[in-house]
Amino acid sequence: MKRLITVITCCIVVGYIFLALYPFAPTYIKNSHVSGMTNKVKKILGLGALFDRPNTLIGKSATYRFYQNGKWQPKQQLLEPLFEDYKLSGNIAALKHCRLDGNLVWNIAYIANLDGVEKMRHSKEYAEFLDHLIYRHNHNIKPDSLEISYYTKNFETDSLDLSLTFKVKP
Amino acid sequence: MNNFIRDILTGFQTGIEKHNFPDTNIKWFKCCTYLLLLLKMLFIWPELSMFYRHALSVTSGSLMPHELFFLPLFKDSYHFYWLAACIVVGVSIFYRRFILLSIAVFVITMNYFLLANKAINTGDKLLNFFIFMSIFVQEGSLKNGIRKMINNAVLIVLQVHFCLLYVINAFGKIINPFWRDGSSFNSIWHLSYYANPNLIPHWLLNPKLYFITAWVVIIFELIFPVLIWFRPFKKPVLIAGILFHIGIAASLSLPDFGVTMIIGYLLFFDFKQIYTKANTQITV
C-alpha cells in the first residue's frame, strides 16, 4: 500500500515538473496533441500565469441602451456602476457580477469581430448575454430594440476606442 | 534500470514517510479553506438569483452530485439549498474529521464553481483544488501508519502545486517581452475594472518603477519555490508573500485570489516555533 501511494505521488510530481517546464518545450511538442491536454490540465488546476497575454492587458468597457416606450433610453455603462459599488462598499457580489458581465460582453465582441455581427446574433454566447442583460439590467422586460457598444481603452491617450457597436431587436 | 527506479522510489517513500506535517497546520489549513468558501457563499448571496438564473442558461443539471443543485426540482427553492449548503460548510469547520462532510463541502464548492462559472478566477480554482485534496487529509493520524503517509503524500502534492503556481507564473512572464521591459505594468495599473486607482500610489506610475516592479514580481515568483524549503528563509519569504498578495488583492481587485494564496502559506508555516516561543514567554 505504501509503495502504491509512493508511485502515485511520484507520478503526480513528475507531471507537475513537466507542466513547469512546458513553456520551454520544443515547438514540435507544443504543436502536438500534448499541447491541448496540457492546457486543459493547467486550466482545470488554475495553473495559468496572471496577466501574461496581451488580451488580458487591454482595458475594456461597454455601454448599452434600450428602445422602449417609444423612445431610446439614455446610454448606460455596463461595468462601471458594479465596479464602483465594489470600490466604495467592498461589495464582493457586485465585483463578481462585474466579472460575469465583462466576460459575457467580451465573448460576444470577440465573436462579432471574428465572424461578424450576424453570426454573433445566432451564437449561444449572444443568447446568454441577452438573457442576462434583459433580466438583470432591464427588470426582465424585453425592450423593442437595444444598442450595445464595446470599447477598448487606450492608456497612452486615456481615450476609449470604439471596437464594436450594433443595434438589434431582441 | 529496474534497480535504479526501485532505489528512487524507496528514497521517495522514505521522504514521504519522514516529512513532518504537524496537525496544527492541517487544522488551520482546513479551517481557513472552509471558512473562505463559507464567506464567498455568503458574499454572493445578494446576487444569488441572478447567478442561479444565469447558471441555468448554461447548465441543465443532472443526477451528478455537483449538478443536483441545478435540477428543476430546486428551481424554486435554491435559496433554501444555499442556506443548507452554508450550514454544512459552517459545521464542517468544527467537525473536520468526518470524511463525508469533507466530500459534501467539495460538492458545495463545485456548486459554487458552476454557479459563478463566468465570474471565476484562478483563486476559485485553487480553492476548489485545496478543498478536493482536503478530503484525503485527516488530523490526528498515527505516526508511521498508512493514514499518516496519505496525509504526507497529499500535503506534499499541495506544496508542490503551490510552488509550481509561482514557477509557471514566473516562466509565463519571462517569455513575454512586455514583462521583461516592464511595460506590462503600464497596462496593469490602468486596467479598467481591475486596478483600483484609490489604492495605487501615484509615484508607482512611472516607466522606471514599472520595470523594477515587474522584475521584483518575477524574482519573487522564482525564489519563493526554492527558499521556502530552507528554514532560515521561510519566515521572510512568507512575510514577503503575504504582503505581495495583500497588495494584489487590494490594488488589482482580486480579494479572493489573494486570500486563497495566503491560506496556501499555512502549508509551509512553522506553528511549532510560535508555540515554543509563546510557552517560553509564559514560563518566564
pLDDT per residue of chain B (284 residues) written in tens, 0 to 9:
678 888 888 888 888 888 878 888 899 999 999 999 999 999 999 999 999 999 988 877 788 888 888 888 888 899 999 999 999 999 999 998 889 999 999 999 999 999 998 898 889 999 999 999 999 988 877 776 788 888 889 999 999 999 989 998 898 889 888 899 988 888 888 888 888 888 888 888 888 999 999 999 999 999 999 999 998 999 999 999 999 999 999 999 999 999 999 999 999 988 776 666 666 665 55
Q: Which amino acid is at B14?
A: T
- Suggest the residue from B10, B19, B36, B47 to mutate for an interface test with chain A (most A CBs closer than 10 A): B47
Cell numbers at B53, concatenated? 438564473
Closest-CA residue of chain A to B46: A93
Contact indicator for A58, B178 with CB cutoff of 8 Å: no
Q: 10 Å Cβ neighbour count for B259?
A: 20
Read off the pLDDT of residues A132-166 as tens digits, 9 standing for 90 and up.
999 999 988 899 999 999 998 877 777 888 888 88
Give first-to-last CA distance, chain A, whole Å.
61
Residue B8 lies in a domain: no
A33 band by pLDDT with thresholds 50, 70 and 90: confident
A34 band by pLDDT with thresholds 50, 70 and 90: confident
- Suggest the residue from B192, B206, B252 to mutate for an interface test with chain A (most A CBs closer than 10 A): B192
Residue A24 has pLDDT above 70, yes or no: yes
Please state, in angstroms and as integers, the Cα–Cα distance from residue B20 to each residue in A10, A69, B29, B149, following that order.
Answer: 18, 70, 15, 10
Q: How far apart are CA B116 and CA B102, in angstroms?
A: 21
Mean pLDDT, to the nearest integer, of A23-29? 77
Q: What is the pLDDT of residue B191?
A: 87
Q: What is the pLDDT of residue B23?
A: 85
Contact A1 B146 (CB under 8 A): yes
Residues of B in contact with A45 (CB under 8 A): 125, 129, 161
Q: What is the pLDDT of residue B281?
A: 61
For the CA atoms of A64, B45, B188, B211, the dihedral, rounded to the nearest 10 degrees, stands at 180
Q: How far apart are CA B196 and CA A86, in angstroms?
A: 10
Residue whose grid cell is 448606460: A76
Residue A90 has pLDDT above 80, yes or no: yes
Q: How far apart are CA B54 and CA B52, in angstroms?
A: 5
Residue B2 lies in a domain: no
CA angle A98/A102/A104 to nearest 5° reads: 120
Residue B6 lies in a domain: no
Contact B187 A57 (CB under 8 A): yes
Range of the domain at B206: 15-283
Residue B9 lies in a domain: no
Cell numbers at B23, concatenated? 496537525
Q: Could you tell me how far CA B235 lies from the centroid of its own chain?
A: 19
A100: helix, coil or strand? helix
Contact B175 A86 (CB under 8 A): no
Q: How far apart are CA B35 and CA B43, in angstroms?
A: 12
Mean pLDDT of chain A: 87
Give the number of domains in chain B: 1
